[in-house]
């Protein structure tokens, strides 16, 4: 994404990078978009309607000891060159803040690494924009009766997320061809399979 001619990274791009570092090379360096992108945008549009319905459930925030919230927070970080939209930013009674993200999925008892990193990036965006500590995040699984999963955000996780963002900028700025994913299974239905020599 380009803002005022500067490249910014989104949490979605970080997730693509974690799936396979070469995605970033093809998407940004060679400027080849994935066919799936459009499909996910359509899906997002559909989710927004559902989001409006579930968001009115104030009991969720009361349960989380939240005293204030901002919905649809569009946040940028000049330090990290990161930009993202958080479903809700919550202020707790103890003065800390937390991102809350709605997932239109069932809670299956496993928190995927990509989702975790996404929340850590939101935490970094909130800390820079609001100057408040963020040490947890919430995921609401709408299809499991709004199951709320609380996630601890440690300093170590924040440092790791910053390193990942830096690695992505290295690919974009130095223009180097990163190593392929170690999981060959991912290559089977990859959009870039025909041009990637993995
Ligand atoms: S073919 Fe495999 S290594 Fe190449 S971009 Fe796709 S997932 Fe990554």
pTM exceeding the 0.85 threshold for the entire prediction: no
173 lines ligand 1 (CB under 6 A): no
Q: Which of the four pLDDT bands, split at 50, 70 and 90, describes residue 61? A: confident
Is 19 close to ligand 1, i.e. is its CB under 6 Å away?
Answer: no
- Compare 31 and 138 and report the one with higher pLDDT: 138
What are the C-alpha distances in Å from 198 to residues 24, 32, 143, 170, 185?
15, 17, 38, 20, 12
- 190 pairs with which residues across the strands? none
Q: What is the pLDDT of residues 143-187, one digit of tens each?
A: 898 899 999 999 999 999 999 999 998 888 888 889 999 999 999
How many angstroms from the chain centroid is the CA of residue 8? Answer: 14
The distance in angstroms from the start CA to the end CA of the chain is: 26
32 Cα–ligand 1 center, Å: 13
Query: Within 10 Å of residue 7's Cβ, how many Cβ atoms?
Result: 13
Domain extent listing, the chain: 2-187
Specify the fold of 2-187.
Lambda Exonuclease; Chain A (3.90.320)
Instruction: Please give the pLDDT value at position 53.
Output: 61
């Amino acid at each position: 994404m380009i803002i005022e001619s500067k490249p910014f990274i989104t949490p979605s791009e970080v997730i693509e990078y974690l799936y396979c570092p070469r995605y970033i090379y093809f998407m940004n360096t060679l400027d080849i978009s994935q066919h799936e992108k459009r499909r996910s945008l359509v899906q997002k549009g559909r989710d927004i309607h559902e989001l409006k319905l579930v968001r009115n459930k104030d009991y969720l925030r009361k349960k989380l000891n939240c005293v204030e919230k901002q919905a649809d927070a569009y946040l940028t970080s000049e330090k990290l060159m990161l930009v993202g939209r958080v479903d809700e930013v919550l202020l707790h009674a103890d003065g800390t803040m937390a991102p809350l993200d709605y997932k239109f999925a069932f809670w299956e008892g496993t928190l995927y690494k990509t989702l975790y990193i996404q929340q850590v990036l939101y935490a970094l965006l909130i800390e820079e924009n609001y100057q408040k500590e963020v040490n947890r995040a919430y995921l609401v699984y709408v299809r499991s009766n709004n199951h709320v999963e609380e996630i601890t955000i440690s300093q170590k996780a924040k440092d790791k997320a910053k390193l990942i963002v830096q690695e992505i900028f290295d690919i974009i700025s130095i223009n180097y061809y990163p190593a392929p994913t170690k999981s060959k299974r991912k290559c089977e239905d990859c959009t870039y399979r025909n041009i990637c020599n993995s």
